[in-house]
Each structure stands twice: as C-alpha cells, then as structure tokens.
Amino acid sequence: MADTTLSNRIAIVTGASAGIGEAIARDLHAHGASIVINARRAEKLEALAKSLGSRVAVVAGDAADDSTINAMLDTARAKFGGGSREADLVVINAGRGLGGTVITSDIAQWEEMLRTNVVAAAKLIRAAGQRLLKEQEGKQGEALLDRARDIIVLGSTVGRHVSPFSSMYGGTKFNVHGMVEGVRREIGPRGIRVSLVEPGFVVSEFQGVAGYDDAWLKGVWDRIGPVLTPADVARVVSFMASQPPAVHVNDVMLRPTRQDYP
Ligand SMILES: NC(=O)c1ccc[n+]([C@@H]2O[C@H](COP(=O)([O-])OP(=O)(O)OC[C@H]3O[C@@H](n4cnc5c(N)ncnc54)[C@H](OP(=O)(O)O)[C@@H]3O)[C@@H](O)[C@H]2O)c1
C-alpha cells in the first residue's frame, strides 16, 4: 500500500449496515478516515458507530432520497470538514440483487432495484461530483492534486460479462459500469478519481435479499468456493483510496480464485 493512512480523509459509505459496506466503513475507519455511514436500518448503523467510537456520523435513510444525499454530504462537511471541506472519499455501495432474469425475475421488485442500484448511485455521483468540482474551481495543473478526491462505486462481474442467469440485476451493474467510466473521463482531468470495484461472489445478506434459489446457490458455491468475504472487497477499496493523488487505480475486478465465470 502506497500510503497506509487515510487519516486526512472524509468518507461517506452508503449501504454500511451490512456486508461489503459495513466492512468498507470499518476498514476506512481503521486506516484513520472520518466516516459518514448510511443505510435504511438506523439501529444497525448506530451499533456500528458505537463499536467504532469516534470519527463516525450516522445518516439513516434511503440512499435514493435527495434529503438523505444532501444530509450525508452536509454532515461530512459540517462534522469533519470544518464547515468548508467536502467529503473526499465517497463510496457508493448501497445496492441489491434480484434472482432470475428479465424473463423470470419478480417484476414487482424491478423499480426498487433500479432506484437503489442506478438512480441512487447517479444522484450521489452527481451531488458529490458537483461539490468536489466547486472545490477545484480556479485551480490548474498540479494544484488540482493537492489532496486525493475519490468517488468509488460498487459494480459487479455481471456488469461487465453478460450472464444468462442475471440479466436484470446485471443490467443495473452494466449501467453503473458505463456511468462511472463516463464520469471518470469527464472529471478525472479536474483531479477527481471516479472508480469502479467489480466483485464476483461475496458472502453477505445480498443472496437472501436477492431471493436466490438455495439449491442453485449451494451448487455454485460448492463448485467455486470459498467465495469472497466483505473484508476482501474492503481491502481493495482502501488500497485504491490510499494511492497518491496523481495515481488512479480506476477499475478493479476481484473474484474468488475458483470463480471462472461471470
Ligand atoms: N454480494 C455479492 O456477491 C456482490 C457481488 C458484486 C457486487 N455486489 C454489490 O455490492 C454492494 C453491497 O452488496 P452486499 O453484498 O454488501 O449486500 P448486503 O449485505 O445486502 O448489503 C446491502 C447494503 O445496502 C443497504 N441498502 C439497500 N438498499 C438501500 C437503500 N435504498 N438505501 C440505503 N441503503 C440501502 C443495506 O442496508 P439497509 O437494508 O439497512 O438499507 C445494506 O447495508 C451492492 O451494490 C451489490 O450489488 C455484491
């Protein structure tokens, strides 16, 4: 790791009440970052905040609501940025899966998934990006790299490799993949790193929320396991964020070693 301390960073992590988001919040905090944690289940966030002690603020609410997005960014600036510095390590992780395909999945869950995986991600990329761009106004050249500024989004291997068994969920992650690379090209030149992390199978609450068929899942995991843990993903995020400001690890795919596909 280039710089193992993130002690000068102000982070936001969405979907931090469980799984990958919780592990990212813990790892960033362990490396010294101040963190604003978000998810809908306030009691889980409060328990996490309590276990971490200082340098944590809780903003509970739906990550797609404008009020939640503004509250996360305002809290980060007010509590950890001395009222003027914006959050500079925004991890857009809140999301959900859905078993089945465009043909077979439960259509009643489509809108919630699209809202969380795509609309919430786009809104926070936009709001955080606008604020960080404002901080960069008037600067040129190396002055734009006075400190690291990151927006890191959770994609998926099924957002890069077309899978016949998750075309609906995979479609949301293809969206995120394209959006992140487009925004990277747009605001990277202004010193803001916009990055994608694309994990394969990770054990978390994800599989239950998605409603995967137990026998199918057991078959996959027996074949490719052991699968990744949330801490494996968190280590990668901390590695990306801790690079010097002039270095951008913009896209990482990580899989269980025995996962051949997707
Ligand atoms: N697990 C995998 O195999 C895998 C693989 C590739 C990519 N991913 C991606 O990684 C991310 C995290 O997944 P995970 O495996 O950690 O799943 P998880 O254990 O189910 O955690 C999902 C988190 O997102 C939060 N969340 C869901 N909807 C939300 C909303 N509308 N507003 C705010 N928070 C919301 C949940 O908290 P609340 O219920 O408290 O709101 C929870 O904290 C997702 O984007 C997922 O697509 C997962």
Q: Is 36 exposed, middle or buried (0-12, 13-18, 19+ CB in 10 A)?
A: buried
175 lines ligand 1 (CB under 6 A): no
For the Cβ of 212 lying below 6 angstroms from any atom of ligand 1, the answer is no
Ligand 1 atom index nearest CA of 233: 10
Which residue of 206, 217, 233, 236 sits with most ligand 1 atoms within 8 Å of its CB, as the best mutation to test the pocket? 206
Binding site membership of 41 for ligand 1 (Cβ less than 6 Å): yes
- Whether 1 is covered by a domain: the verdict is no
The rounded distance, in Å, linking the Cα atoms of 176 and 157 is 12
Give the Cα separation of 117 and 124 in Å (integer): 11
**Ligand 1 atom nearest to CA at 207:** 1
Residue 86 lies in a domain: yes
Is the CB–ligand 1 distance for residue 95 below 6 Å? yes
Candidates 28, 8, 33, 7; CA nearest to 16 is 28
The answer, yes or no, to whether any atom of ligand 1 lies below 6 A from the CB of 181, is: no
* Inter-residue contact 170 to 224 (CB < 8 Å): no
Contact between 140 and 78 under an 8 Å Cβ cutoff? The reply is: no
In a domain? residue 212? yes
Q: How far is the CA of 95 from the centre of ligand 1 (A)?
A: 4
pLDDT of residue 4: 56
C-beta of 21 in contact with ligand 1 (< 6 A): yes
CA pair distance 57, 139, nearest whole angstrom: 31
Closest ligand 1 atom number to CA of residue 94: 24
C-alpha to C-alpha distance for 3 and 31, rounded to whole angstroms: 10
Q: Is the CB of 160 under 6 A from ligand 1?
A: no
**Does residue 262 belong to any structural domain of this protein?**
no
Question: In this structure, what token pair is assigned to residue 231?
Answer: 């801490």
Using alpha carbons, list the distances in angstroms from residue 177 to 111, 162, 259: 19, 13, 20
* 246: Cα separation from own chain's centroid: 21
Evaluate whether residue 182 is within a structural domain: yes
4 lies in some domain: no
**How many domains does the chain fold into?**
1
pLDDT tens, position by position, for the chain (262 residues)? Answer: 444 589 999 999 999 999 999 999 999 999 999 999 999 999 999 999 999 999 999 999 999 999 999 999 999 999 999 999 999 999 999 999 999 999 999 999 999 999 999 999 999 999 999 999 999 999 999 999 999 999 999 999 999 999 999 999 999 999 999 999 999 999 999 999 999 999 999 999 999 999 999 999 999 999 999 999 999 999 999 999 999 999 999 999 999 999 999 9
Q: Which of 14, 24, 35, 40 to mutate to test the pocket of ligand 1 (most atoms within 8 A of CB)?
A: 40
Cα(134)–Cα(69) distance, rounded to whole angstroms? 17
| Cα of 92 from ligand 1 centre, angstroms | 10
Residue among 42, 30, 33, 25 at smallest CA distance from 8: 33
Place of tokens 């929320």: 209
> Which among 22, 12, 15 has a CA at the least distance from the CA of 81?
12
Shortest-distance Cα residue to atom 23 of ligand 1? 15
Instruction: Say what the pLDDT of residue 1 is.
Output: 40
Q: In this structure, what CATH number is given to the domain that contains residue 48? A: 3.40.50.720
**260: in domain:** no
Give the span between the Cα atoms of 29 and 26, in whole angstroms: 5
- What pLDDT is attached to residue 2? 40
Does residue 139 belong to any structural domain of this protein? Answer: yes
Domain ranges, residue 239: 10-254
